[in-house]
Amino acid sequence: MAEEVMNNKQIILKHYVEGYPKESDMEFKNNNIKLNVQEGTNVVVLKNLYLSCDPYMRSRMSKLEGCYVQSFTPGSPITGCGVAKVLKSGDSNFQEGVVVILVVEKIGMFHLRWRMDYHDSPQLVSKNGVGQFAKMLGCCVVGSAGNKQKVDMLKTKFGFDEAFNYKEEHDLDATLKRYFPDGIDIYFENVGGKMLDAVLVNMKLHGRIAVCGMISQYNLDKTEGVHNLFCLIAKRIRMEGFLVFDYYHLYPKYLEMIIPQIKAGNIVYVEDIAEGFENAPSALVGLFSGLNVGKQVVMISCE
């Protein structure tokens, strides 16, 4: 069989990053990959169609030890989630031409590199706004975002009861008291730092905090201290961290629930699509200054 070779573009992390990541922390590299695969192996060659830009990728740009994700390797391609098409397959579970969605695996390994070659068995994943699920369950939902466009979108597009621009609020404690005069039952934590401190003093007795992320802290050399943890005692608050890895077994059930809701227009999503592989570094970097409006995606190709 003649050897098929293809040009392959990669985005390389040049070095470990300190502080806010910059486009110049990454560089493009060209190489050639062989497309031939052997029948009966689990080797699959994928063409990336869409890349996902996610905040957790910031921590992988640092030197990590004993973390739930592994550091990117300086000099090697950045990896992440995305959508890809099977170009060549030695695995009968993945037929050529099929589109697959690639997700983070249990610990450390990611299924998709930010390049075109790929050799593993992909799974499916999706993203969505928990605020909408809370509305579906009958909660009164208040959102926080960093500019007017996003605040408006939370209220008009996503149906939140209220939303505010945290960048315009100089006393977050007062802000929360304004929106939650009776206190907060449930806080979905994705921010950390000052916001968490303000939330803690505004929680209700026996309130619950689901800890998903702390984006305000990812680019700091030293994280901000959280000062109001005594509220956990005074208000008997439960605070618990989680990772999506632990719940993948529920994914089929989740799809069963969510797909009809999306089709019915009850759950909506907004994507911020950067076009072209060459725009991936700026899209990723933009996450950390809040440039994206909605889920940040990079479109490489529609097919």
Name the residues that contact a second copy, by CB under 8 A. 67-68, 192, 196, 211-214, 217, 222-243, 246
Please give the single-letter amino acid code of residue 271.
Answer: E
CA distance 271 to 20: 23
First to last CA, the chain: 26
**Shortest distance, position 224 Cβ to a second copy, whole Å:** 7
Question: Smallest Cα–Cα separation from 47: which of 104, 6, 86?
Answer: 86
Nearer to a second copy, 148 or 236 (CB): 236
Distances (CA, A) of 140 to 157, 161, 258, 261: 16, 6, 20, 19
Cα atoms found within 13 Å of the Cα of residue 282, Cβ hemisphere only: 8
Nearer to a second copy, 237 or 283 (CB): 237
**Shortest distance, position 236 Cβ to a second copy, whole Å:** 5
Nearer to a second copy, 46 or 237 (CB): 237
| Cβ-based neighbour number of residue 268 at 10 Å | 14
**Shortest distance, position 170 Cβ to a second copy, whole Å:** 19
Nearer to a second copy, 225 or 265 (CB): 225
Q: DSSP of 284-298, one letter per residue? A: HHHGGGT--SSEEEE
Residue in the structure block whose two tokens are 């990079």: 298
**Shortest distance, position 46 Cβ to a second copy, whole Å:** 29
Question: Smallest Cα–Cα separation from 164: which of 176, 117, 194, 113?
Answer: 176
**Shortest distance, position 273 Cβ to a second copy, whole Å:** 28
Nearer to a second copy, 169 or 224 (CB): 224
